[in-house]
Amino acid sequence: MTDRGRENLSLTWKLGAIALGAFGFGFALVPLYRTLCAVTGYGDQAKLLERSAAILHPDVKRTVTVEFLADVASAGSWDFRPEVRRIEVHPGELYTAEFYAHNLTGHASIAQAVPNISPSEVAAYFHKTECFCFAPQHFALNEGRDMPVRFFVDPALPSHIEVITLAYTFYDEASRVTRR
Amino acid sequence: MAEPHAHAAAHDDHDHKPHGWRRWVFATNHKDIGTMYLVLSCTMFFIGGIAAECIRLELFRPGLQFFDPQFFNSLTTMHGLIMIFGAIMPAFVGLANWMVPMQVGAPDMALPRLNNFSFWILPFAFTLLIGSFFVPGGAPAGGWTMYPPLILQTGAAFPMLIFSVHLMGMSSILGAINVIVTIMNMRAPGMTLLRMPLFVWSWLITAYLLIAVMPVLAGAVTMLLTDHFFGTTFFTAAGGGDPVMFQHIFWFFGHPEVYIMILPAFGIISEIIPTFSRKPLFGYEAMVYAVASIAFLSFIVWAHHMFTVGMPLAAQLFFMLSTMLIAIPTGVKVFNWTATMWKGSLSFEPPMLFALAFLFLFSIGGFSGLMLAMVPADYQYQDTYFVFAHFHYVLVTGALFSIIAAVYYWLPKWTGHMYDMKLGTWHFWLSAIFVNVLFFPQHFLGLAGMPRRIPDYAVQFTDWNMVSSIGAFGFGLSQLLFPYLIIKCIRAGRAAGNRAWEGAHGLEWELPSPPPFHSWTTPPSDAVIARGAAH
């Protein structure tokens, strides 16, 4: 083997080792990423854990009233109302409320509920984990059914607030078409 | 291992080369392998181009006319993968194979058999990749960036995608090792590092980038593979993984990859502009340092591709500022190219025309890159056609135009024939006009909010999409002139002479055109090297 051949081979192996090291480095990025997330608090679930801990430990000493309102955009074509008009809740506890809707349009239809919360400053403290308002609702002709909304009130709710109003307006296809 | 090679080299010295298919399948000659790389690249360019034309056909009008959305997504994904790994990268490797040994005064690449291997991996890689169109579930449709969890939903094509990426990566790494060993060990005596042409310099740095980051991509896709088949949860939140981590690892590869596709282009432009300005390159050493600093910075800017995933403010500021820093060495290069032309006696043959278009249009792509670097602005531009326009300006009018310029520059050297200048000039003007018709309106579409990778769009985007599609058809058709012109030139033409361009400097122009099968078997003398290194 010539001198140059030997040099070439030795440099080749060194560069190959760099490539192999880089392959390992790709995998080393995994623990590195976890560490960085733990340090910066990103990707790390600490905040969410705090929030779920609050759900597990509701503030039972405090009671807030939640009122439910329901309204339809085109009167007469839907029967839409809450099953209960108001409930008393403890901040931090998870509740379910049912709304009833009945399709009176005379044909199968799709409707979308749009929520509104008042007083508006409460919006940041009122968390819906599941809601019929998250997606359009399909109704067969003359179909009526209950639809759930699951929610909890943040324990950090300002202390002067005692009543929260959750109002839904029900829009169906017809009102969408007229809006266009 | 080196003995049989030494024997073979001694044996082949009389310029008798193997004939027929053996010449190509068992090729160890850098010129033959370079040619094969360039032919592969050209083929892939047209296949990727067909995918692009299909995309523009679908986007000519709003609504779905020709393809269902899943197939459209396959088209965008495959267009990206084929153009990046199949057209641009092999073209640069092919140019390196052809030119680097001749430019540094070496008889061949340092590792000729490895060279053969790294080329012949590629046809298999692309057969796997393109074959995925014909398996159940269709070709990958999750975007060329392969983000999980979407990419994990790919059907039978998933392992084909992963293994083809492995093969392409392997080919690039082996090719890069070969280039580095050739440049470090095979230079003619007297060819000091700072006498090397800039094409060689830029390729040396590119090769280091390749061996540093291609293995990281291989690691990332291996993690995808084990997540999909072996129950690991690197990127699955349900098992404690994080899909955002894929984006970090991918772009740790992806940003240096962007420079892998542009640094050799800088080298090419630095060869062409001095030749047709009949002046030495302005600020040779500054150019070398600029390339090196761009390469260094490429490792610390990756997260600017993903500002919107949620990052601490400090990280966003860091990545924004480090990204903007890249404008400084890039600005040095653009300034030096312009200064090279200052008071030069310019002439406008096809290579120079493409180099000038590169200078203008790459700068446009650079400026839109600066806009995208700004975090608050990027939140609006992310995943819109503005990003699309940006990286097509740097990759099509940047990387691709530089490759076309390089072919027009060195074709007389390779074939010994001058090509049809008039046709080359036509090719230039058609390309330069249509490419702007194609991509410039996409800036407007992006700023107006049109998202990337969507087969349908809101009607207010119709006009500019039609203009863009017309540009795409025109650009695609005018590229057909290119292979026609090359074949015509290989067959016949006026003899080019050793120094095909009167202003050309460098060792390759000291050799006959076409160069003998084995060039520089006796190293060039110091005087010849000094004449070539005219800076």
Nearest beta carbon to residue A16 from set B3, B177, B213:
B177
Lookup result for tokens 């590629």:
B122
Half-sphere exposure at residue B525, Cβ-oriented, CA atoms within 13 angstroms:
2
What pLDDT score does B4 carry? 44
What pLDDT score does B137 carry? 87
Q: Test B215 with A43 for CB contact under 8 angstroms.
A: no
Decide which of B19 and B30 is more confident: B30
Nearest beta carbon to residue B211 from set A15, A33, A37:
A15
Q: Is B144 a catalytic residue?
A: yes
Decide which of B21 and B385 is more confident: B385
Assign 3-class secondary structure to B458-501: CHHHHHHHHHHHHHHHHHHHHHCHHHHHHHHHHHCCCECCCCCC
- Is the confidence at residue B215, as pLDDT, over 80? yes
Q: Measure the CA–CA gap between A166 and A128, rounded to whole angstroms.
A: 11
The long-range contacts involving B305-313, CB below 8 angstroms and separated by at least 24 positions, are B305/B247, B305/B251, B305/B254, B305/B255, B306/B244, B306/B247, B306/B248, B306/B251, B307/B375, B307/B378, B307/B379, B307/B382, B308/B378, B308/B379, B308/B382, B309/B244, B309/B247, B310/A42, B310/B244, B311/A42, B312/A40, B312/A41, B312/A42
Residue A56's pLDDT band, with cuts at 50, 70 and 90, is: low
Angle between helical axes of B385-394 and B421-447 (0-180°, round to 10): 160
What pLDDT score does B169 carry? 96
What pLDDT score does A92 carry? 86
Please compute the mean of the pLDDT values over residues B74-78 and round it to a whole number: 96
Distant-in-sequence, close-in-space partners of B104: CB < 8 Å, separation ≥ 6: B182, B183, B186, B187, B188, B191, B196, B200, B507
What pLDDT score does A59 carry? 84
Residue B533's pLDDT band, with cuts at 50, 70 and 90, is: confident
Q: Is B108 a catalytic residue?
A: yes
Q: Report yes or no: B352 and B273 within 8 Å, Cβ to Cβ.
A: yes
- Is the confidence at residue B13, as pLDDT, over 50? no
Tens of pLDDT along B350-394?
999 999 999 999 999 999 999 999 999 999 999 999 999 999 999
Residues of A with CB under 8 A from a CB of B: 1-2, 4-9, 11-12, 15-16, 18-27, 29-30, 33, 37, 40-43
What pLDDT score does B5 carry? 45
What pLDDT score does B171 carry? 96
Residue B535's pLDDT band, with cuts at 50, 70 and 90, is: low
ipTM: 0.86
Q: Is B462 a catalytic residue?
A: no
Q: Which among B116, B91, B471, B103 has a CA at the least distance from the CA of B260?
A: B91
Strand partners, A165: A67, A118
3-state secondary structure of A79: strand
Residue A176's pLDDT band, with cuts at 50, 70 and 90, is: low
Please compute the mean of the pLDDT values over residues B78-99 and round it to a whole number: 97
The pair phi, psi for residue B237, each rounded to 5°, is: -60, -35
Q: Measure the CA–CA gap between B247 and B249, rounded to whole angstroms.
A: 6
- Is the confidence at residue A177, as pLDDT, over 50? no
Residue A172's pLDDT band, with cuts at 50, 70 and 90, is: confident
Please compute the mean of the pLDDT values over residues B214-241 and round it to a whole number: 92
CB contacts of A6 in chain B (<8 Å) are 2
Half-sphere exposure at residue A114, Cβ-oriented, CA atoms within 13 angstroms:
8
Q: Measure the CA–CA gap between B324 and B372, rounded to whole angstroms.
A: 10
> Which of the following is catalytic: B30, B279, B305, B443?
B305
The pair phi, psi for residue A87, each rounded to 5°, is: -135, 155
> H-type helices in B327-400, by residue range?
327-341, 350-373, 375-381, 385-394
- Residue in B closest to A39 by C-alpha: B312
Residue B434's pLDDT band, with cuts at 50, 70 and 90, is: very high
Q: Report yes or no: B198 and B245 within 8 Å, Cβ to Cβ.
A: no
Q: Is B427 a catalytic residue?
A: no
Residue B530's pLDDT band, with cuts at 50, 70 and 90, is: confident
Q: Test B245 with A5 for CB contact under 8 angstroms.
A: no
Q: Report yes or no: B426 and B482 within 8 Å, Cβ to Cβ.
A: no
Q: Test A20 with B111 for CB contact under 8 angstroms.
A: no
> Which of the following is catalytic: B53, B58, B257, B271?
B257
The CA-to-CA distance between both ends of chain B, in Å, stands at 40
CB contacts of A1 in chain B (<8 Å) are 1-3
Q: Using DSSP, how many helices (H) and how many strands (E) does chain B show? A: 21, 0
Q: What percent of chain B has pLDDT over 90?
A: 87
Q: Test B252 with A20 for CB contact under 8 angstroms.
A: no
CB contacts of A37 in chain B (<8 Å) are 242
Q: What is the mean pLDDT of chain B?
A: 93
For residue A165, give how far its alpha carbon lies from the nearest alpha carbon of chain B (Å): 33
Q: What percent of chain A has pLDDT over 90?
A: 48
The DSSP call for residue B506 is: S
What pLDDT score does B9 carry? 45
Tens of pLDDT along B270-280?
999 999 999 99
Residues in chain A: 180
Tens of pLDDT along A131-150?
999 888 889 999 999 999 99
Q: Which among A98, A94, A96 has a CA at the least distance from the CA of A55?
A: A94
Q: Is B363 left (phi over 0), alpha (psi -120 to 50) or beta?
A: alpha
User: What residue type is assigned to position B182 of the chain?
Assistant: T
Residue B303's pLDDT band, with cuts at 50, 70 and 90, is: very high
Distant-in-sequence, close-in-space partners of B507: CB < 8 Å, separation ≥ 6: B102, B103, B104, B105, B188, B191, B520, B524, B528, B529, B532
Tens of pLDDT along B33-67?
999 999 999 999 999 999 999 999 999 999 999 99
Nearest beta carbon to residue B212 from set A6, A22, A27:
A22
Residue A75's pLDDT band, with cuts at 50, 70 and 90, is: confident
* B6 in A contact zone (CB under 8 Å): yes
Residue A175's pLDDT band, with cuts at 50, 70 and 90, is: low
Q: Which among A90, A87, A100, A98 has a CA at the least distance from the CA of A152?
A: A90
A30-44, B129-143, B447-461: which range is least confident on average?
A: A30-44
Q: Test B111 with A4 for CB contact under 8 angstroms.
A: no
